[in-house]
Chains A and B, each alone.
Chain A
Amino acid sequence: MSAADSRIRARLRIARADFSLDVDLDLPGHGITALFGHSGSGKTTCLRAIAGLERAADGYVALGDEIWQDESRGLFVPPHRRALGVVFQEASLFAHLSVRRNLEFGQRRAPAEQQHFSLPEVAELLGIGHLLERGPGSLSGGERQRAAIARALLAGPRILLMDEPLAALDLRRKREILPYLERLHRELSIPVIYVSHAPDEVARLADHLVLLDAGRAIASGPLNSVLSRIDLPAAFADDAGVVLDTVIDGHEEDHLSRLRFPGGQIWVSQRPEPVGTPLRCRIHARNVSLALIPQHHTSILNCVSATVVDLAATSTPGQLLVRLDCAGEPLLARITERSAKRLEIRPGLALRAQIKSVALLD
């Protein structure tokens, strides 16, 4: 099955008294697509409608050549006949079954030719091999959620839908489970739709991003091309920033690690990972300042060459967002209108971007 065969098409219209959803999504058949929005933006409803747990009065949902819903023909495939896996916010393991029996629940019911994994493989992938004979009640929140992910994978899904799988967990549990999600990301051939309202999770996991606001999809595209847009509503612009996919290039004597990306090098506090490990970092627009000439008399370590692409006003009076091109990588800087005027910031201008801090996503 190639990635093109699992493209997701979802045209959904739901009108309720207090809420309406009207989206037309065309999502890639590989990698993790994040549906990001604030509460009430319709992201969960969207996911539930794709799963068939909710039926949009006017809807079309297809995964590759498999049509799951087409209201123009009155077609609606119920969830249990769709080859999908769903991970809910809280783990929802069946309390009357052991972890192993939970994992087997979907596996037994799925046709053999649709199963890509064996139980031991999935248990190993999610690190729950030692928990199989236990009851769900004796597991920690993180372990339960990992078991729920394993259970969904064993049902032979062609797509995995995750509805804020980390939202019910505390920070420690989140940190415990994120590496497993990244591992899934690397090793899984099926697409994942990941609903979240946490920018850090999205920045860390997503390849593709859909921004939802008040039931509408206001942006959809590869992660950085959406993140680097400067025309988004205030709710998103206030937290503007891009992600950089870097590789650890070296560890230096003074407890710094050097990261390499196409636009240059940046230094961060010493990392435990070996040289060559990919590392994703997030750079907030508010942590990037601009200088026309290289600054040597500054404590800021990270400084890269960039060219101004365009600039736009933000919802905060007197503040601008500047989009930069850094050897093909986008970068956003948030500066004051006064500085922009003084430095005569304009599209095409070559300058230095000083990165005050890099958020490593863990």
Chain B
Amino acid sequence: MTDAATAQDLAAVWLTLKLASVVTMLLLIIGTPIAWWLARTRSRLKGVVGAIVALPLVLPPTVIGFYLLITMGPHGPVGRLTEALGLGVLPFTFGGLVVASVFYSLPFVVQPIQNAFEAIGERPLEVASTLRAGPWDTFWSVAVPLARPGFLSGAILGFAHTVGEFGVVLMIGGNIPEKTRVVSVQIYDHVEALEYTQAHWLAGGMVLFSFAVLLTLYTLNPSQRART
């Protein structure tokens, strides 16, 4: 009984790390252009897009989970598309969890990167353009390196936030061992089953992990902010 539970715990930990890694990677790819656009645009749509990106910060996870469930389900638009593409429907799969987590953690990645891009200002980009660097070149050789602290914060926060999510996972992923049962759900199960010892191990681990993440963030960032 105890051994089986430990194996399940480890599976949940492994699944959680895998999910967080995939989601963080995707968020950096998706979030960077959004952050760049938000930092640079003068479009009136900036407010709208910014608000949409920030929605997960204020909405209860169950609301996001509920709508994602409907959209990605067999009768939703995304669900029909994925079925037509031969991918099946996403809810209650690992893929579904990834999609949901990307939505849910988006602001945690976009906002630090956007702030870092904004902090660079116009000047270094102008300087690069007078030194014969085109826009794409400037982005990679000036903007990204100068925004490095923002990328670091974004990646760490995105990863940590994905590890810590519960509501959305439960709505979209359910509770399938080795497929969608992540640590936070596993803890919930343990508590429901009054297995407090196991719950302690995992919950204590989460506390330590989260503390370590935030400590890294706060010790790394101040030194990076010293700019000329």
Contacts and interface: CB of A to CB of B under 8 A. Distances in A.
B216 interface: no
B42 interface: no
Interface stretch (A102-110, A186-194, A207-215, A220-228): A102-110
A152 B130 contact: yes
Interface stretch (A32-40, A76-84, A304-312): A76-84
A105 B123 contact: no
Contact of B228 (A93, A106, A109): A93
B203 to A, nearest CB: 40
The interface residues of chain B, by DSSP majority, are classed as helix
Contact of A88 (B123, B128, B227): B123
A80 B146 contact: no
A79 B129 contact: yes
Interface in A72-95: 78-81, 84-86, 88, 90, 92-95
Given A92-B123, A94-B146, A86 B130 contact: yes
A361 B156 CA distance: 56
Contacts of A137: 226-228
A155 B131 contact: yes
B133 A80 contact: yes
Contacts of A85: 130-131
A187 B124 CA distance: 28
Nearest to B228: A137
B130 A51 contact: yes
Contacts, number: 68
Contacts of B228: 93, 95, 136-137, 144
Contact of A106 (B131, B138, B148, B227): B131
Interface in B141-175: 141-142, 145-146, 148
B42 to A, nearest CB: 15
Given A92-B124, A94-B124, A137-B228, A84 B133 contact: no
Contacts of A90: 123
Nearest to B120: A95
Given A96-B148, A136-B228, A80 B134 contact: yes
A96 B146 contact: yes
B127 interface: yes
B44 interface: no
Given A94-B146, A95-B228, A137-B228, A53 B126 contact: yes
Contacts of B128: 80, 94, 105
A151 interface: yes
Contacts of B146: 94-96
Contacts of A151: 131
Nearest to A161: B130
A105 B130 CA distance: 11
Given A136-B228, A137-B226, A137-B228, A92 B133 contact: no
Q: Which 4 A-B pairs have the closest CB atoms?
A: A106-B131, A109-B132, A86-B130, A79-B129
28 contacts: A53-B126, A78-B129, A80-B133, A84-B130, A85-B131, A86-B126, A86-B127, A86-B130, A88-B126, A90-B123, A92-B127, A94-B124, A94-B127, A94-B128, A96-B142, A96-B145, A96-B148, A105-B141, A106-B131, A106-B132, A109-B132, A109-B137, A136-B228, A137-B226, A137-B228, A151-B131, A152-B130, A155-B131
